[in-house]
Amino acid sequence: MSFIKVYIHFIWSTKNRFSYLNTRELRMKVWDHIRQNAKEKGIFVDFVSGYSDHCHCLISLGTDQTIQRIMQLVKGESSFWINKNQLTAEKFEWQDEYYGVSVSESILPKVRKYIENQEQHHRKKSFQEEYEDFILKHGFQKFND
């Protein structure tokens, strides 16, 4: 048996950063569904939260899981579920792109707290500002098409 602990902090936004998830009640339904669906698929979601136009998800990878497959299962299925249950006034979509960074076990509590406090955090800072900070902090290259 292999023992692995690899945590990834994922962030993805709604299509065109539209505020589909515009109530706390709706967000809680979506985060609970993401957690439950992931569990059914053998994906360990340590923490999930977000705001009206994006989601943060802390996931521990399993031995046979790839980042691409996990994102496909989590984002694709949650989008399908939201539309099937007509939880938004318009057709719901996640943006294709996502971001992921590895998280050291020593800072897991800090990352969990950051994800948990998205509601308060975005009273002061927009997702666009958070996105720019994330790109800079982690040294991602931005390429123009």
The residue with greater pLDDT, 71 or 133, is 71
pLDDT class for 145, splitting at 50, 70, 90? very low
SS3 sequence of the chain: CCCCCCEEEEEEEEHHHCCCCCCHHHHHHHHHHHHHHHHHCCCEEEEEEEECCEEEEEEECCCCCCHHHHHHHHHHHHHHHHHHCCCCCCCCCECCCCEEEEECHHHHHHHHHHHHCHHHHHHHCCHHHHHHHHHHHCCCCCCCC
Q: What is the pLDDT of residues 39-72, one digit of tens each?
A: 999 999 999 999 999 999 999 999 899 999 999 9
pLDDT for the residue 9: 96
Architecture of the domain defined by 7-137: 2-Layer Sandwich (3.30)
Which pTM does this prediction carry?
0.86
Q: What is the pLDDT of residues 75-97, one digit of tens each?
A: 999 999 999 999 999 999 999 99
What is the domain partition of the chain in residue ranges?
Answer: 7-137
pLDDT class for 124, splitting at 50, 70, 90? confident
What is the overall mean pLDDT for the chain? Answer: 90
